[in-house]
Amino acid sequence: MTPRQRVLSVLRGETPDLVPWLGDLDYWVSSLRQKGELPAQYAGDGYFKLHRDLGVGFYLQGDFPWTGKTPGETMQETRDGNVVRKTWRNPAGTLTEEQTYLPDTFSWAITKHLVTGAEDIPAFLWHIEHTEVTPDYTATLRRRDLVGDIGIVLSYLPRSPFMDLVTGASGLETLVFLLVDYPDETGELLASMAKLSDEAADIALRSPAECLMIPENLSSEMIGEKLYLEWLRPYEARWVERIRAAGKHSFIHMDGTLRGLLRQVAATGFDVLEALTPVPSGDMTWQEIAAAMPEGTVAWGGLPGIVFTPLVSEAQFERHVRETLEVMTARPRCVLGVADQVPPNGTRERVRRVAELVERHGRIAR
């Protein structure tokens, strides 16, 4: 079977010959590119050749299959060293975001959020209410041709409005204070965001992608059961049903701690809980994660990024992969994946070695 056939068989509730192995290499490859260490054959569309050469099935990075514009609003971007500042101006006010590049980790961090208090709500609300979204399936269609038999085509829906604020516009602390101190204004903002999110999600639903993910980036030490049930599940459950009705497969991205939230999210009805991170980086073993899954739900993940690095010995790496495969072969509704990404100090040899271990230890009795 090909990587595509294997993962599709799991999504259909069938049993493949081997545990499917699909991994997110984007962060690792991006760091190699920035260091000038990415071989020319893997630049651009060569990214898909890299997956083939390393025996890694493809599914990410996904794409947002729409474009947005906000008539009447301007945006100015400036850079000072490693800090990029973006300023939006509209009739209701001015919003500023700062991101700082961290060269040691080849990544960006938000160091000033757009919304820092109630005074920023009017301008952000104006932005949301005047943003227009239109379909753009160009990348989805192009990727479908490039992926071929090595994987699946996956696109994103928007995050739930609550998580959109948490991960970007405001951060969790500011959002919680706004909900307590300014419930009416914050409620109006979340309702407006939900309307825009629904418009974009409907565009994603009609895209050529066969799989659709809500990229929530959940971690249970930040989002507990109360916040999840009140603010996230209503949005997720509505779109899970619509994805299923459209004949597509629904995914949610959970790349943090799991113990306080895994069962609640699984009960929402997603086909796949993805990027599930076990110990040593997470707070549950893969045995515990698999046991918590409803019978029809796919558990996707299992290999924390650190196991691809020299910080973990070769013996520890092989033992972790084999122990994970032992659970997955006994519960075939699993996909072996990186949880969450191969980091910049990951090694090519470790990535390549996973396919060999799956061939040797990932065979499923049929």
User: Tens digits of per-residue pLDDT, 245-259?
Assistant: 999 999 999 999 999
- Dist. CA 52–CA 296, nearest whole Å: 29
CATH top-level class for 3-68+132-361? alpha beta
User: Tens digits of per-residue pLDDT, 192-247?
Assistant: 999 999 999 999 999 999 999 999 999 999 999 999 999 999 999 999 999 999 99
- Dist. CA 153–CA 62, nearest whole Å: 8
pTM above 0.85, yes or no: yes
- Dist. CA 136–CA 350, nearest whole Å: 36
| pLDDT exceeds cutoff 80 at 62 | no
Sheet-wide strand order for 93-102: 74-80, 83-90, 93-102, 107-112
| pLDDT exceeds cutoff 80 at 366 | no
- How do the domains of the chain map onto residue ranges? 3-68+132-361, 71-130
* Residue 229 three-state SS: helix
Q: Are 123 and 88 in contact (CB under 8 A)?
A: yes
- Dist. CA 168–CA 287, nearest whole Å: 33
Element spanning 162, H or E:
helix 161-164
